[in-house]
Amino acid sequence: MIERKLEIVNEKGLHLRAASELVKLTSSLPCGVSLSNGLIEVDGKSILGVAALGAAKGSHIIVKTDGRDEEGSMDRIDDLFRRGFYENVI
């Protein structure tokens, strides 16, 4: 299991459309993914779970990957966070 703290950089935060980009990725990964905002931990493959984090721009999310290719999977998730889920980053 590996863990990384990632920042939300897109302006709108992890709203439903951004969450759907994230879940499209996590669903294709061979390992388990979980996300936590320090208060609640959710299944990273559940769009409603991810959206329920209510993560705004500038907040940090603790991401855990666990299982096959957890390292490579984490890198891809990290990359998507950096790209702001393909949305406007200012």
Partner 1 sequence: MSSEGKSTLILKGQPAAPGIALAPALVHEAQIPALPFRTLDESEREAELARFEKALDETEGDIERSRALVADQLGEDHARIFEAHQLILSDEVLLDQVRSLIGEGLAAETAWMQACGRVIEAFRGLPVGVGDRSEDLRDVEGKVLERLLGRESRGFAHLTEEVIIVATDLSPSDTVTIDRRRVKGFVLEKGGPASHSVILGRSLGIPVVTGVEGLMAEVSAGDPLILDGHSGQVTLNPAAKDLRVFEDLQEAYGAWEREMLRFKDYPAETRDGRRIELLANIEIPEEVEAAREHGAAGIGLYRTEYLFLTSPALPGEEQQYEAYRGVLEALAPEPVILRSVDLGGDKIPGYLRFPREQNPHMGWRGIRYTLSMKDIFRTQLRAILRAGAHGQLRIMFPMVSSVEEVLQIRRVLDEVSAELKAEGHALGKKVQIGVMVETPAAVAIAHLLARHLDFLSIGTNDLIQFSLAMDRNNPLVSGLYDPFHPAILRQIRRTVKAGHSEKNWVGLCGELPEDPLFTILLIGMGLDEISTGPYRIPGIKRIIRSITLDGARQLVKTAWRGMTAAEVREKTRAEALERFPDLADLLLRGESS
Residues annotated catalytic, as ranges: 15
Q: Phi and psi dihedrals of 79, rounded to 5?
A: -60, -45
Considering beta carbons, is residue 10 or 71 the nearer one to partner 1? 10
CB of 37 to partner 1, least distance (A): 10
- By CB atoms closer than 10 A (0-12, 13-18, 19+), residue 84 is buried
Binding residues for partner 1, rule: CB under 8 A, are 11-17, 19-20, 23-24, 42-43, 45-49, 51-52, 54-57, 88, 90
Considering beta carbons, is residue 64 or 71 the nearer one to partner 1? 64
CB of 62 to partner 1, least distance (A): 17
The candidate with the shortest Cα–Cα distance to 69, out of 36, 26, 35, 19, is 26
